[in-house]
Each structure stands twice: as C-alpha cells, then as structure tokens.
Amino acid sequence: MAVSNSSLEWKKGDSLYPFGQSLSPVLDFIGFELERASATLIEGRFVVSERSAQLYGVLHGGISAFISESVGSLGAIIASGFQQVAGVEVSTSHLQPAPVGMEIEVKATPIHIGRKLQVWEVKLISAKSSHNNLPKQRSSKTSEPGLIAVSKLTASVLSSNPAAKSQDAKKIPSKL
C-alpha cells in the first residue's frame, strides 16, 4: 500500500494495519479492531471482555484512556505527514458503564491540527448490536445516545534532529 503524507485513507481489509503491523499488543490482547484510518477520522471497535473489564464486570477506565491515546495518536501521526508524535495530555470522562459482552465503537476526530500541536476528541459509543444480545445503552443526560466515554488527547508533533539526515535518514526526536 502506498502512503503519502496525510493522504492515507485506510479501511479494514486493505491490509492488516496501515503500517503493516499492529498498533499495540495491548489493543490486540483486548480484541480491538481498527476499521478506518485517515487524517480526519480513526474508527475501530472491540467487545468488552474479561480482558478489558475491571473487577465489577464493566469496562476498565484505564482501557478507555489507553484506547483513546492510541487511536488519537494514530490520527495525529497521519495528519502530521507521518512525523513522530507524543501524547502530552489525555483526559477521559466516563459517562456510563459498559458491561462485559457490549460491543464498543471508537471514533476519533481532530479538534485542532497545528504544525506542532494537535487536539483529538475520541468517543467510545455502544454499538447498535452487541454480542450476547445486550441492548444499546441510552443515557438520558447526554445528547448522544450510547455515549460511554469521551476523551480529549493533546499530542505534540516532535521535530526531527537535522543531524539525523546524515545518519541514513533516521529521525532523532528533539526534546520537548
């Protein structure tokens, strides 16, 4: 698959992952599947299981934050033209529980894409149909039915060290 700057439009089935490898062994462990990746939208899904749940049988908040940083960072990488990025802040609000067996859709969209700083919003939403025939969660207090959690990721686009060009084009990140 040819990739050029931020023009990547990857869809499930094109290849295993946009870069020919998994995003993260942890995402693989919990069963996360990337479905679409571009500079303006990252989509994926997973089913809450014992691997992603906390003691009480609902989605662990740390997993929500981990997924948010992972997919938001992928979007930032693509939007920056495949430069190295680093998450500098992630905040997650958990709005309602997601029990074991519920299928969760993950959608990340940019709020701001700058040369050095990007901000991404990531939503975890219960899918319309989930495993074990669990109904779609509804929240009377949110404007978006099924919204489980919402995160905001701030990512810094790291500059390359100019001396790296003389070292077989390796990019050496500068200090923040």
Tally: H helices and E strands in the chain: 2, 7
CA distance 157 to 169: 18
Is-catalytic flag, 69? yes
Nearest CA to 174 among 163, 158, 152, 157?
Answer: 158
CA distance 106 to 56: 22
Q: Which of 33, 35, 69, 121 is flagged as catalytic? A: 69
Residue 55 CA to its chain's centroid (Å): 24
Nearest CA to 124 among 26, 42, 11?
Answer: 42
CA distance 66 to 64: 6
CA distance 109 to 122: 7
Hey, is 121 helix, strand or coil?
strand
Which residues make beta-bridge pairs with 173?
160
- Catalytic amino acids? 69
